[in-house]
A = this chain, B = another copy of it.
Amino acid sequence: MLEDKNPSRTPLSNLGEFGLIDHLTKGLPKRVPTTLFGVGDDAAVIDSGEDFILTSTDMLVENVHFDLTYVPLKHLGYKSVVVNLSDIYAMGGRPEQILVSMALSNRFTVEAVDEIYKGIYLACEQYGVDLVGGDTTSSNQGLVLSITAIGRTKKDKVIYRSGAKPTDLIVVTGDLGGAYMGLQILEREKSVYMGNPEMQPELQGHEYVLERQLKPEARKDVVEMFEGLEIHPTSMIDISDGLSSEVLHLTRSSKTGSVIYEDRIPIDPTVFRLCEEFNLNTTTVALNGGEDYELLFTLPVSDHEKIKGNPNLTVIGHVTEEDRGNYLITRDGVAVELTARGWNPLGEEND
């Protein structure tokens, strides 16, 4: 009925997720004085008078972002909240409210929806946030979850991606690569199960990485940690797509370069062991794996003493001038240019 008057047909995969977002939002006007920062950081920043209101949203689609063959519904609800809260923490804020929208096909029962909400409410409890709204509707196929988080920060405590300065230290919280290895185990057990549904999945001994994948936590401790240590990061981002991609986002926003050291990247021993078993390179897994929801931030080198020896924080490199590019220094001392290989949800694999 509707004529296609536009003969050009560019596939979305030509641009990829970040390319498409850039394409759609370049030159976006700001009409409202309370809009302080829009697209291009972990959360938008709105002036509420006394404080800044932070807001961020994520959409999770069945069989794109999660596979209900092995993701328990309660974990799905929990994780979908946590990944949004992570964006608020990544701005130096505290989340306060969430809105949850859900489209469900009729294969979901009331009991199934209850399970998802059990996870959502558990996350609300753990992180001290209120569910204040949403929308529930039907879909023709599968489950789509869309969550918006709203948070708040004192005006002088907000941390953008764009404040990194050359010589600043690059720091990560926790360790990386665990969530990706958890996914590898789940995918392996799924293959076994698909071959023989009588087989029980072998998940024992892999609790750490499975929890990293299925029930990740956001770093709600950092805002208080920063206050306790009396440090104020110059820039910050959460690690949802893999370290490499996030370092590039941060340095692009800050108009800087970076050097990170392979031997400094914090990796849990179980991840080392599993990478060996799966014949994967640990560094590649940490750089590109994603979904760890740790935080990456930069700090003036003068603050080094304040974080030295802190078991939650690892200095992995430093910020350089923009024209120096972004490099990983390998264990052999070779400089390899960092490329964004993060997971691409607009890739070719979906039709």
Contacts and interface: CB of A to CB of B under 8 A. Distances in A.
Interface of A: 1-2, 6, 8-15, 17, 20-21, 23-25, 28-32, 34-35, 37-39, 43-44, 46, 48-51, 53, 55-59, 61-65, 68-70, 72, 96-97, 99, 101-111, 113-115, 117, 124-125, 128-142, 144, 146, 148, 150, 152, 189-190, 193, 201, 345-348, 350-351
B146 A20 contact: no
A20 B284 CA distance: 44
Closest 3 CB pairs of A and B: A44-B132, A48-B48, A49-B50
B106 A350 contact: yes
Contacts of A148: 55, 57, 99, 148
B109 A34 contact: no
Given A2-B70, A12-B109, A61-B138, 13 more contacts: A1-B189, A1-B193, A2-B72, A6-B111, A10-B111, A12-B108, A31-B124, A37-B132, A38-B131, A49-B49, A55-B97, A56-B133, A140-B142
Contact of A55 (B63, B72, B99): B99
A117 B1 contact: no
B105 A46 contact: no
Given A20-B136, A21-B136, A135-B59, A104 B12 contact: yes
Contact of A101 (B58, B63, B125): B58
Contact of A12 (B13, B64, B138): B138
15 contacts: A2-B72, A10-B109, A12-B109, A12-B138, A17-B136, A25-B131, A28-B130, A31-B128, A35-B130, A43-B133, A44-B97, A46-B150, A48-B50, A65-B137, A140-B351
